Amino acid sequence: MLRYALIFLVIAVIAGVMGFGGIAGSMAGIAQILFFLFLLFLVVSLVMHLVRGRA
């Protein structure tokens, strides 16, 4: 998921440099959502690992 966030971020940067503001904004928004989902899943995974490790 982090890979897709980085891909969308790179596409957004390239589109922004080329002057496609709408596409760049959309891609940056998608990259941001995917990044936060990645962070959420990372935290949930770490908590689950800690809970299982103590049991």
Tracing tokens 């995974």 back to the chain, one arrives at 45
Question: Which H, E and C letters describe 29-46, residue by residue?
Answer: HHHHHHHHHHHHHHHHHH
Model confidence, pTM: 0.71
Query: Are the C-beta atoms of residues 27 and 4 closer than 8 Å to each other?
Result: no
Per-residue pLDDT tens for 1-55? Answer: 778 888 888 888 888 888 888 888 888 888 899 999 999 999 999 999 999 976 5
Q: Which amino acid is at 36?
A: F
Which pLDDT score is estimated for 9? 85
